[in-house]
Structure formats: structure tokens, C-alpha cells
Amino acid sequence: MAFENLTARLVEVFRRLRGKGKLTEADVNEALRQVRVALLEADVNLQVVRDLIARVRERAVGEEVLASLTPAQTVLKIVYEEMTRVLGGKTARLDLGGTPPVPVMLVGLHGSGKTTTAGKLALTLRKQGRFPLLVAADVYRPAAPRQLEVVAGQAGVPFFFQGGASPPVIARLGLERARETGRDVVIIDTAGRLQVDAELMAELEEMKAAVMPRECLLVVDAMTGQEAVNVARAFHERLGLTGVILTKLDGDARGGAALSVPAVTGCPVKLVGMGEKLDALEPFHPDRMASRILGMGDLASLVEKAEAALEAEKARELERKIRSQEFTLEDYLEQLKQVRKMGPLDQLLSLIPGLGRAVPRVEVDEKELVRTEAIICSMTREERRNPAIIGASRKRRIAAGSGTSVQDVNRVLKGYEQARRLLKQLPDMEKAMRKGGGRLWQ
């Protein structure tokens, strides 16, 4: 994830702070100095860092904090709250109100991922019961309309393009087509440039005047760092942006753009791209992102991913089996399949408090999952439901039937047993979380 290095630095800062027990003002100042360096190295805007550190220091060096029973945890809580504030404070949803069809303009530079993001947004809205239309208003980049047409087909939504017309005219005709065909949202993919220029802005202003979009969203590549702030400021001054979509947040970028853009421009980040697949578009939650950056995990997002991947009936049946401790190898195989639907395992681990730091890099071998499935399918029904009966001779038979080795069979059985033990502990973990109010700094 983009914030991996920043998270590692901040986790170390607060680990040292906790080791001191009772804090002095000098301890807090030194910790904040290290936080400042970590943020600057992550390419966060200098003024944003100064303001953040100043607010944290003002709150953290008070007598009430330094004299508290858990001063280090209290300082972490303050940093979390101020970082949430920098990221926008509260979740900003898309505004698709008004008389349909509602126009949505996507703007940005070349390479920011506008066309793919247009498809992702269309798919997201379609799943929400909307009826979007994708409009190709980029007439300059070779094959841009064709690329959007392909993306539209993958998202299962219609596509519109008018050859020979100017981008503002295409946008207006797309709106008329949506009205005629009963589409309620029009997503307009506009042209980009290698850099902001007057000609591009004039064309976008004309297009905005032609369709009066409800949302004018800037698509920004998170890997562009500080340049993202300058681009966002330039577009906002000319177009009056309503929000930002950050792409490639699952990559190796330092992440400074995510922290800087909302604070510098006042435009909220509304959506983030977390992968190349069309379903890898997520709402941006400032509080959850701050929690991830500080290494505190993001259980809410993990639960939402699980709910989206698991069928409701299967989820209820799994919960019943876990609580009654009836979790079998058949259930284990089913859950492995469901987890694969939720996304890359390293991203999932980063959402679990503490676990993402303990296992920072996990490479998932798809062939390994295929072998696991083959091994479990080579077992008899009795063996899958009661693995305790699997002895040496049965392991040899299972290995031969699945084209694997006895060591592979042992590995699968060990993985299942570890999962079963963990699931047995979930009710106790749930009680502990409720007792602690669900707050990691308490």
C-alpha cells in the first residue's frame, strides 16, 4: 500500500513513546519531530505538516495529557484525530441528486487513470441500482474512445461517442442520449494533457458550461506526489472541483498526495482506486485511512469487503459453525475461495490491527491455492468432516490423488488447524473489543 513506509516510521515512533511510561514535554516534542520528518519524507505538503504538528503539539503538551495514566496512547489518539481532520474529517459521498440524467465530469492529466476510473465508477453505480452511460469526450488521444468502449463493455454499461464533434458538443449530445434512453447518470471521460495548459482548461470550462455537471471530479495518480497538489490547485481554481479520486493507492507511492490534496485545496477525496480490476474502487473514509496510516488497522473496511464477497446465507451458516465449533475442511476450502474474491491478501492483512505490521509483505501464490483445493477435493467426505482420522496411509492416498506430496497434505492440514484455533478465539476477541469500547488506544 502507498503508506507502507510512512506507517512503519510512525509505528516505531509511538512504540518508543509507549516504552517511556510517563512522558515529559521534551518526550512529546521529540516524538513530534520524528513524526514531522516521516510526513515530509512521505512527500506531504510542508504547510500541511506544519499545521498538523502545531495542532497536535498544542493538544499533546497539556498537563491533562502528560499526567494521564496512558499518555503515549493519548498522544496517538490526538495524532489520529488531527490526521483524520487533515484528510477531510468526514466521508464525502458523491452527490447525484437532481433531475436525471445527472452529469459527472472526470478531469485530470494524461496517465492519471481517468478512462479506467470512469469504468470503475460506472460499475460501482450500476451495482448500486443506477443506470449510467459512459461518454467519450477525449478526441485527441489515439484510440481513447475505443478504450472507453471496451471498458464500458466490461462494466456492463452503454457507451456514447460522436465522431467529428468537439468535446463540449459530445458531452451535450451524450446527455441528450442518456435522456432519450432512460439513463440516470452520465459519466464524461475528458481529455488530458501532459501538464496543465490554458487550452485544456478553456475546453473543460466550455464543457462544464454546456452540461452543468453535478460532480466535477479530478482524477489524480497518487504516485505523482507533490505535483498532485499543484495539479489539484490549478484545476480547482479554473473549474471549481467538487471532489478528488485518487488512483493507484495500492502501489508503492509515498502517499503524500492523499494527505495534502484535501488540506491544500479544500476538495474532499471521495473515491480511491485500490487495484487494476474494475471493482477496485472504494469510498474514501478519512478516519479509516488515518487508522491505516498509523498502523491501527481498518476493521470496518475488512468487514465491508467480507460482506460484499460472502453470500448472506453462507455468512450466517459460517457464523453458526464457528460459534458451535463445527468448522470443517469443507468450510476451510469455501473460505479460501471467498477470501480470494475479497482482493490481495497483503491488502486484507493491512486492515487487521497489528497483523499488517507483523506480516508486512505477503506474496500469495495462486498455484498454492489451487493445490490446496486439489488436496481437499481428493479427500473423502468423512475425511473432510473429521480430519483427525487422516493417518499416514490416507495422506499418501490423498497426495497421489491430488498430484502433490505428503508434505503438501501436512501443510494444508496444519493451515486448517491454525484457522480453526483462531476462529475458536473469535468470540473471546469480540467480547474484549466490546469491553474496550472498540478503541485501540484505550
Confidence of residue 3 (pLDDT cuts 50, 70, 90): low
The predicted structure's pLDDT at residue 224: 73
Min mean pLDDT across 54-63, 94-103, 126-135, 421-430 is at 421-430
The predicted structure's pLDDT at residue 99: 87
For 391, half-sphere exposure in the C-beta direction (CA atoms, 13 angstrom radius) is: 2
The predicted structure's pLDDT at residue 258: 65
The predicted structure's pLDDT at residue 124: 92
d(CA 279, CA 125): 11
Left if phi > 0, otherwise alpha if psi is -120 to 50, otherwise beta: which for 343?
Answer: left
Where is pLDDT greater, at 123 or 3? Answer: 123
Alpha-carbon distance values, 314 to 173, 338, 386 (Å): 46, 10, 21
Beta bridge pairs of residue 107: 218
Residue 301, pLDDT > 50, answer no
d(CA 89, CA 61): 23
pLDDT in tens, 310-358: 555 555 555 555 555 567 887 777 767 666 555 555 554 454 444 444 4
| Mean pLDDT score, 90-99 | 87
The gap from C-alpha 258 to its chain's centroid, in whole angstroms, comes to 12
Residue 20, pLDDT > 90, answer no
Residue 173, pLDDT > 90, answer yes
For 45, half-sphere exposure in the C-beta direction (CA atoms, 13 angstrom radius) is: 22
What sign results for the dihedral spanned by CA atoms 18, 20, 23, 24?
negative
d(CA 101, CA 186): 6
Confidence of residue 302 (pLDDT cuts 50, 70, 90): very low
Per DSSP bridges, beta strands 281-283 and 269-273 are antiparallel
Q: Go through 213-224 and write b for each residue having 16 or more CB atoms within 10 A of its CB, e for each that does not.
A: bbbbbbbbbbbb
User: What pTM was computed for the model?
Assistant: 0.67
Residue 63, pLDDT > 80, answer no
Report helix, strand or coil for 9.
helix
The predicted structure's pLDDT at residue 179: 93
pLDDT in tens, 196-245: 778 888 889 999 999 999 999 999 887 776 777 888 888 888 888 999 99
pLDDT in tens, 74-88: 788 888 888 888 888
Nearby residues of 272 by Cβ (< 8 Å), 6 or more positions away: 245, 246, 247, 249, 258, 281, 282, 283, 284
Per DSSP bridges, beta strands 269-273 and 132-137 are unpaired
Report helix, strand or coil for 216.
strand
Query: C-alpha dihedral over 265, 268, 274, 278, to 10 degrees?
Result: -110
pLDDT, the chain, mean? 79
Where is pLDDT greater, at 245 or 416? Answer: 245
Confidence of residue 59 (pLDDT cuts 50, 70, 90): confident
DSSP class per residue in 352-406: STTHHHHS------HHHHHHHHHHHHTS-HHHHH-GGG--HHHHHHHHHHHT--H
Min mean pLDDT across 23-27, 136-140, 282-286 is at 23-27
Which domains does the chain show, CATH number per domain? 4-86 (1.20.120.140), 102-294 (3.40.50.300), 300-435 (1.10.260.30)
Burial degree of 116 (CB within 10 A; 0-12, 13-18, 19+): buried
